[in-house]
Chain A
Amino acid sequence: MDAYRYTLADFYASDSPSVVEPPADWGAWLAEPATQACMALFEQPLLAAPRAATRIASRFDGTERDVINLTSYNYLGLATHPEVIGAARDALETYGLGASGAAMLSGTYDVHVRLAEQLAAFKGREACALFSGGLMANYGALQGMLRRGDVLVMDEKCHQSIIDGGTLARAKSVFFRHNDPDALAAVLEAHRGKRVLVAVEGVYSMDGDLGDLTRLAPVCAAHGAPLYVDEAHSSLLFGRTGRGIAELQGVEDQVAVTFGTLSKAFGGVGGFICSTQAIVRYIKAYASAYAFSCAPSPPVVAGCLKALEVATRNHDLQDRLWRNVARMRANLEAMQLNLGDSASQVIPIIIGDSAELLFDIARRVQARGVFLQPVDYPAVPADQRRFRLSVTAMLTDTQIDDACNVIEDEIAQRVKR
């Protein structure tokens, strides 16, 4: 078996006689030394906080090593900010570890009410619903609004949680070409007379490019189609007040529902959606992820409240982030690497179609103390396998330059454009 010819996409279909036994060829593939060497790069335990410098127990060579962290959602450093940690610690003392109840019955605490109110105010909306995960917020919002017979129209690069949300709601799923207003118009034209929802993202998570809301929103408006924008990687980062790409592009009044996660720039875990009082109330009633799941942990909620305050009281963290992004980009561009259409803190380094090369480079880069993770098909197209680098505000110039030296030696020297 040539292990590199196969990917996770090949074992979803199962011929196993029992659902509690994986398919036989899956076991054979996993047992291949090449597969094991690739898999060893995933689920490597971090031994310290997700700061710019952290420590990893490597699973591919069994060594514990200090690394420069280029694979973290802790974009503004709020997960490790002293004020955020302090607020969470205080809440831990006050409320304990878990909410111990679903939001509707006994899981709503004063901190949950405050965070929902403040997120709604931050996003300039009437109301907000909190969920225990970002993925759950997408599931919940879409299941709460869409019904069988409705159509969920998605940009083809939308996150799995949006795709799954449509499946859960038993809506029809239709994709349009990435950021293409004509393709969107054609889809909406083809589904005239149906109830539709158009879902797009602010920053696309695997490419780091921006949703072209300026051109897509008017198409939605012309067809009377409400627009749902996932601002997972853009909330607190983009726009004059940090509300995201819709604010940056001046189309907030054309967005019906805005989504955010608490796991990225906020530095915690959880998700939220903001919209009108009427629809938020309705979503909460029919979203399983809201109604039938324990409310977010109070210390995390209190930490996120503090994170919102810290991130919006001035632009210091954002300024540092964008300075670091500019420095990183300048370094990478000088190496002639293929960075796709990235226009954010998420920067792909696109390698091409060789899984073998991707994983070989990944091990070398990590062995030299740079934590940069590979992204393989089917998460990205097979001819665009890549590293997905995320820049954070905490990186120092020296860390950026040191990491770039390793990238130069190990990636730029081996990948010719």
Chain B
Amino acid sequence: MEPVMNKDEIVQVIVRNIRENVEDVGSAEIDPTRSMEAYGANSLDVIEIVSCSMRDLKIKVPRTELAQVRTVDELADKFLQHMQAA
């Protein structure tokens, strides 16, 4: 069985996908506790960021359970919970 990733590693995957999907971030430092929208991600970008991150992490969390997520940190927590439950 693969070891469950730790939260830092999950955060890194999400941050990489923000950089790849949002034009305006550039090389700005990404604070995981700020809203993704603060980095110029619109709702369409967020859908893409979540899809790419779930693909990279090989997990599938129902979208309805992510509706309230605004920050990288919150998203990483949801992913982690899901991995631990699996």
Contact = CB atoms under 8 A, between A and B. Distances in A.
Main secondary structure of the interface of A (DSSP, over half): mixed
B63 A9 contact: yes
A165 to B, nearest CB: 13
Given A173-B44, A175-B42, A25 B63 contact: no
Contacts of B67: 377, 381-383
A15 B63 CA distance: 16
B3 interface: no
Contacts, number: 40
Interface residues of A, number: 22
Interface size class of B (residues with CB under 8 A): 10 to 19
Given A12-B51, A13-B51, A13-B55, A382 B44 contact: no
Contacts of B60: 10, 25
A17 B71 CA distance: 31
Nearest to A174: B42
B84 interface: no
Main secondary structure of the interface of B (DSSP, over half): helix
Contacts of A156: 43
Given A13-B51, A13-B54, A13-B55, A382 B64 contact: yes
A51 to B, nearest CB: 36
B31 interface: no
A282 to B, nearest CB: 27
Interface string B59-78: 01011110100000000000
B64 A175 contact: no
Given A12-B51, A15-B55, A172-B23, A5 B64 contact: yes
Nearest to B52: A13
B43 A7 contact: no
Given A13-B51, A13-B54, A173 B42 contact: yes
Interface of B: 23, 42-44, 47, 51-52, 54-55, 60, 62-65, 67
